[in-house]
Homo-oligomer: A and B are copies of this chain.
Amino acid sequence: MTHDIALVPGDGIGPEVMADAIPLVERVAAAHGVDLAFTEYDWGSERYLETGAMAPEGFLGMLADHDAILLGAVGHPEVPDHVSLHGLLLPIRKRFDQSVCRRPSILFDGVESPLRGYDGGDIDFVVYRENTEGEYADVGGREHVGHAHEVAVQSAVFTRRGTERVVRAAFEAAADREGRLTSVTKSNAQAHSMPFWDEIVREVGAEYPEVSVESLLVDAAAMDLVRRPDAFDVIVASNLFGDVLTDIGAEVTGSMGLAPSANVDPGGEHPSMFEPVHGSAPDIAGDGVANPLATVLSASMLLAHRGEAVGDADASAAGETLWGAVEDQLADSSAPRTPDLGGDAGTASVLADLRD
């Protein structure tokens, strides 16, 4: 079966990691009889600096017909973040209704956590982050610019549909896992939006009596990801809260270089997008030392997702093989590691070792 994938390597370490990782992903897929047809798009900040646009007009339409999107990273020191992100990443999430962002945080065997007392295997939770609205809604403005009485307003917008979609996905995941869901809000101080979120968690939760629900304030949750990260199973949070919590999750599980993510349209109508949680890392771009494993794990999630979406068991198996190869490599203390994991190997040699 052929899966038609849009490849957007993007900025910084994105293209170099992708160039090295794709052959491995293709090879593993092929070994399972899965054909991946990649169409590469050279969109990103370099293009912006040359042409004034991150991507050509109609780029969303070009992506629409693909089965899935694999993205490297977006962000460039010479391009304001709001330009690069609003010109590429965020419109993809919104246009394709990718309201669920799934981000596993796993302390793999063989990886050291910065936290005392935590060994490989001790941490394994997954965050379901609302991904298209909430605190990132493009709503707001400024008035009386430059005056002493100037004011800026940024409005968070929560729809019932968007909230229900991510909350339901999280309950489904919890029911499949250990049956424990943590909903993160700030209802004590954000009384117009967060109690609405809490209500939807209660409503949807009524359909999942087997899942136990804990409610945590975002400040306590951030603290608890340091204090007791082993206590979590599934976390569900708004766009901003999920953003912050998944970065802490990546950090306590050893490295941002190991954190994959899936931006999913739970309706299955549009292509979903898979990307490492890390950014373009301009400080190490071009050095060939970026950790490719977050991208490999993201590709694994893509294959698993396609497998489930169209009932292609081979694609699911290919995804598992990729994931298992990463696990095995990390568990092997003599295998090459990139500097973020305390090693001195480059991107290419980590991937070469993974292939063998």
A→B interface (CB under 8 Å) = 81-82, 84-86, 90, 112-117, 135-136, 138-142, 147-161, 186-197, 217-220, 222-223, 226-227, 239-240, 243-244, 246-248, 250-252, 256
Contact = CB atoms under 8 A, between A and B. Distances in A.
Contact of A250 (B156, B223, B243): B223
A113 B116 CA distance: 8
Nearest to A140: B192
Given A156-B156, A222-B247, 10 more contacts: A81-B187, A148-B160, A151-B159, A152-B197, A153-B192, A154-B190, A186-B240, A189-B243, A223-B256, A226-B226
Contact of A152 (B142, B192, B218, B226): B192
B150 A160 contact: yes
A251 to B, nearest CB: 4
Smallest CB-CB A-B distances: 8 pairs: A140-B192, A81-B188, A154-B193, A152-B196, A150-B160, A219-B247, A155-B155, A223-B247
Contacts of A188: 81-82, 84-85
Contacts of A135: 135, 189-190
Given A114-B115, A153-B157, A157-B151, A192 B139 contact: yes
A116 B86 CA distance: 38
How many copies of this chain does the complex contain? Answer: 2
Nearest to A85: B188
A158 B148 contact: no
8 contacts: A112-B116, A138-B191, A139-B153, A149-B161, A152-B192, A189-B243, A219-B247, A223-B247
Contacts of A150: 159-160, 196
Contacts of A243: 186, 189, 218-219
A226 B251 contact: yes
A34 to B, nearest CB: 34
Contacts of A227: 114, 251
Contacts of A160: 147-151
Contacts of A250: 223
Contacts of A195: 82
B159 A149 contact: yes
A192 B244 contact: no
A247 B220 CA distance: 7
Given A154-B155, A244-B219, A192 B116 contact: no
Contacts of A141: 192
| Max count, chain B CB within 10 A of own CB: residue among A189, A193, A195 | A189
A355 B219 CA distance: 33
B82 A187 contact: yes
A247 to B, nearest CB: 4
